[in-house]
Homo-oligomer: A and B are copies of this chain.
Amino acid sequence: MEQLDQIKYYRNFQAGQTVVWSGDRMDFVGSVVSGIATLTQTMEDGRRQMVGLLLPSDFVGRPGRAVAAYDVVATSDLVMCCFRKKPFEDLLGRTPAVSQRLLEMTLDELDAAREWMLVLGRKTAREKIASLLSIIGRRSAALNMVDGNSTLVFELPLTREAMADYLGLTLETVSRQISALKREGVIQLEGKRRVTVPDFEGLLAEAGDDSDGGMLV
């Protein structure tokens, strides 16, 4: 495991900066240390779909592929821990523990992608918003646990436009649905970004998820 340490290096990016362009040669892989990045696909006519949200500890890049398949964009200031691809692949071949770990992470990402397919294909705009807030809320809850009463507070790491790209909606629809959830007391807002969820179970219900907490029992 510490063999990884010997070939690693760090890279910093500013909010808004593009880390990798789709189609570009990619000679490294890495993982997010701090900050948030997005993985997006773009069609010729400009339609965009976010296909991944990269939070700290998430992996970027694909061993065995020379060319990036997606755009990676830093949404906040970002620090990444990188490995040149060739040495990393060599290590993968030699160290089962590393490839097992990577397999596990990839399976998690696959589950997340599949859960998102349900959101994109079958949920209403309101449910989509509630689903996104649930996911961000849950991941941030791991860090910022709050008073036991299932009240949750977190910072939205995405603009309305980025949320729209994630949800397959327009930014206007995102804005309207957030306003509606706020009007009805499902969430509260301070400024545009700080979200308070007074009743997380209620939010999950709006997302159309089973009451038991969503994915993977």
Contact indicator B64/A122 (Cβ below 8 Å): no
User: Does chain B have a CB within 8 A of A155?
Assistant: no
Known contacts A107-B62, A110-B109, A117 near B118 by CB under 8 Å: no
Q: Which of A105-158 contact B (CB under 8 A)?
A: 106-107, 109-111, 113-118, 120-122
**For the complex, is A168 an interface residue (Cβ under 8 Å from B)?**
yes
19 contacts between A and B (CB under 8 A): A41-B115, A43-B122, A43-B208, A44-B208, A47-B122, A48-B122, A51-B114, A63-B103, A63-B107, A67-B217, A69-B215, A92-B100, A93-B96, A96-B96, A99-B100, A102-B103, A106-B106, A110-B113, A121-B167
8 new A-B contacts, CB < 8 A, other than A109-B110, A120-B120, A120-B168, are A45-B208, A49-B117, A52-B114, A64-B107, A69-B216, A93-B100, A96-B96, A106-B107
Q: A96-B99, A103-B106, A113-B113 are in contact. Are A118 and B217 (CB under 8 A)?
A: no
Enumerate chain B residues within 8 angstroms of A67, measured Cβ to Cβ: 216-217
* Copies of this protein, total: 2
Q: Does residue A210 face the partner (Cβ distance < 8 Å to B)?
A: yes
Is A83 at the interface (CB under 8 A from chain B)? no
CB contacts (< 8 Å) of A96 on chain B: these are 93-94, 96, 99
The number of residues on chain A lying at the interface, defined by a beta carbon within 8 Å of a beta carbon of chain B, is: 48
Binding site for B on A (CB under 8 A): 23, 39, 41, 43-45, 47-49, 51-52, 62-65, 67, 69-70, 92-94, 96, 99-100, 102-104, 106-107, 109-111, 113-118, 120-122, 167-168, 208, 210, 215-217
